[in-house]
Amino acid sequence: MQPPVEYITRIRDNYAKLGYKPYQWVMNESTPPWTPLRKPLSECRLGLVASGGIYVTGQVAFHFKDDVSFRTIPTTVKTSDLRTAHFAYDQTDARRDPNVVFPIDTLRRLVKEGFIGELADHFYTFMGGIYSSRRVAEELAPQLTERLLAERVDIALLVPV
Amino acid sequence: MGLIARHAEAAGIPTLCMGSALDILKAGKPPRAAFLDYPLGHTTGKPHEPELQREILRQALEGFNSLTVPGSIKMLPFRWSEEDEWKLTAMSTGDSRTPRHDTPQYQTEEDRRLAEASNPAACPVCEVSA
């Protein structure tokens, strides 16, 4: 069994080879904030934020240069209408089955099975790979948090790629 | 995603961040995390394997109950393949990244046509969400 892949090292090397400026990984040293669950999972309304570059056909796709925009995906979306636009991972499988980076059918099933209470009306997606951690901290994170609060979610699942 | 997790959690929403890059997950140090040791682009499972996807998500979401120390990571017990040969490829292959275009990169031309029809102002570097 091989140890987990060291992506930070690998991506730093690849960027250097391509002549990109070095990507500054966010290194959070401090203890993260903590909010306890208020109710059992089976009663929770779940929100989701995913960074696999998912959009719905008809929406504007992501561009690859510090795109800090996000898309609003209705949780009633037809899975076959989901698309991906991302510069940094092999999208072959995500385009065959978006559930590998945006678990919409899986979550709808877990609601039906009573494992979680319900889904928010909308999920949120963006692309990631954003150079400016300041813009993530000052623009994207507050905007997404505001949406999650407006959706009245009890818990949020975050799915990066 | 660590920044977003921390921001939402600080605003009063319990979060759980999945991930298939353990070092990046550790660096971002979100409040709760679940690690799936799969190749990038498969954070929540393998394509067209709904039973496996369900099991992965159930175990990840269970982290909301079992994780009690801020910053801890639940290690999910799934393996992509017996031999982990994909990891050697992931470490050795050159860059698989595409150039950083500043215009929307549609999956299909039909998507482009639809988006441009409904968003006449679909600027290449749009700042607002659709």
Residue A62 and residue B126 in contact, taking contact as beta carbons nearer than 8 Å: no
Q: Which residues of A touch B97 (CB under 8 A)?
A: 14, 18, 87-88
A74 at interface of B, judged by CB pairs closer than 8 A? no
For residue range A116-153, list pLDDT tens digits in order: 999 999 999 999 878 888 899 999 999 999 999 999 99
Three-state SS at A155: strand
Look over chain A and give the mean of its residue pLDDT values, rounded to a whole number. 93
What DSSP designation does A57 have? B
State the average pLDDT for chain B. Answer: 89
Is the per-residue pLDDT at B16 higher than 70?
yes
Partner residue facing B70 (CB), from A31, A62, A141: A31
Element counts in chain A: helices (H) and strands (E): 5, 7
pLDDT for residue A98 is more than 90: yes
What is the Cα–Cα distance from B64 to A159, expressed in whole angstroms? 15
Q: Nearest CA of chain B to the CA of A76: how many Å?
A: 17
Q: What is the spatial distance between Cα B12 and Cα B111, in angstroms, rounded to a whole number?
A: 37
Selecting from B1, B47, B87 the residue whose C-beta is nearest the C-beta of A158 gives B1
Q: Is the pTM of this model over 0.90?
A: yes
Please choose, from the candidates B98, B99, B96, B100, the residue with its C-alpha nearest in 3D space to the C-alpha of residue B125. B100
Q: Which of A35, A93, A109 sits opposite B42 (nearest CB)?
A: A93
Contact B4 A34 (CB under 8 A): no
**Torsion region of A157: left, alpha or beta (phi above 0 gives left; psi -120 to 50 gives alpha):** beta
CB-CB: which of A30, A47, A99 is closest to B53? A99
Pick from A76, A74, A28: nearest CA to B27: A28
Cβ-defined contact of A137 to B13 (cutoff 8 Å)? no
pLDDT tens by residue, A36-48: 999 999 999 999 9
Digit-coded pLDDT (tens) for B81-129: 988 889 988 877 655 667 778 889 999 999 999 998 887 666 554 544 4
Give this complex's ipTM.
0.94
Q: Using CA atoms, how far apart are residues A132 and A135, in angstroms rounded to an integer?
A: 5
Residue A17 has φ and ψ, to the nearest 5°, of -60, -35
Stretch 7-66 of chain A: residues touching chain B, C-beta under 8 Å: 7-10, 14, 17-18, 20, 25-37, 41, 44, 47, 49, 51-52, 55, 57-65
